[in-house]
Homo-oligomer: A and B are copies of this chain.
Amino acid sequence: MKSHVKRRTDPERAQSRRNQVLQAAAVCFARSGFHGASMSEISKEAGMSAGHIYNYFDSKEAIIMAFVDLEAEHVTAQLRELQSKEDPLQSMIDEAPRHIDENLDPEYFQLPLEMFAEAARNPKIAAAMRATDVAAMAEFRPIIKRERERRGLSVDDALLDGRIDTMVSLFHGLPIRALHRPQLDRNSLVEGYRVAMKALLLT
């Protein structure tokens, strides 16, 4: 009993166990789909008992919610980094290739595609994604606004949101494009993105 209590109260160990479950779940969701993957498949992949997994996650839904939280942390970190740049708009354009490469990697995009399909039918997951987006937009908008102002470009609120929504769509669509056309030329794609992003951010 003592060791069990210790395990439950050691935050570092708990965090590492949670991550172990999340990694296994990502593999299982990608392989079998969210509905096809069972908690027992996930526990087998994680090398843990199903009972043990329930110490960390009540359900598969709770696992997806944890992925939404991880994505929110990732976006927050990216926005903080952007904020620290001398010229955020130019650096978004310059760093597009890195984001493009991330989104072209099937290892990376299989799980998001599964999550989006699930969010389209599960209001709780959709609500979590939306809350994350509201928070991200609240940080992103002022950066774009300030930088456009500095350049003497229009900072109309509706125009800005339309430009941001368009740019976000561009990145969200990339994995789906890569799925349809795996032979696409990455460098030509980068050039296309650059043209679109310049028009959206710098005009």
Q: Give the B-binding residues of A (Cβ under 8 A).
A: 30-36, 106, 109-110, 113-114, 116-121, 126, 129-130, 132-133, 137, 158-159, 161-177, 179-182, 184-185, 187-193, 195-196, 198-200, 203
Contacts and interface: CB of A to CB of B under 8 A. Distances in A.
Contact of A193 (B129, B166, B182): B166
7 smallest CB-CB distances across A and B, nearest first, come from A173-B173, A162-B188, A35-B36, A166-B192, A172-B173, A199-B199, A169-B173
Contacts of A36: 33, 35-36
Contact of A170 (B113, B129, B170): B170
A198 B203 CA distance: 12
Given A169-B170, A172-B176, A200 B196 contact: yes
Nearest to A195: B199
Count identical subunits in the complex: 2
A35 B189 CA distance: 33
Nearest to A199: B199
A175 B164 CA distance: 15
A195 B166 contact: yes
Given A30-B121, A120-B110, A121-B30, A179 B126 contact: yes
A120 B133 contact: no
13 contacts: A31-B121, A110-B117, A116-B179, A117-B117, A132-B180, A161-B184, A161-B185, A162-B187, A165-B184, A168-B173, A168-B180, A172-B172, A199-B199
A172 B177 contact: yes
A168 B192 CA distance: 11
A119 B179 contact: yes
Given A120-B110, A195-B203, A33 B35 contact: yes
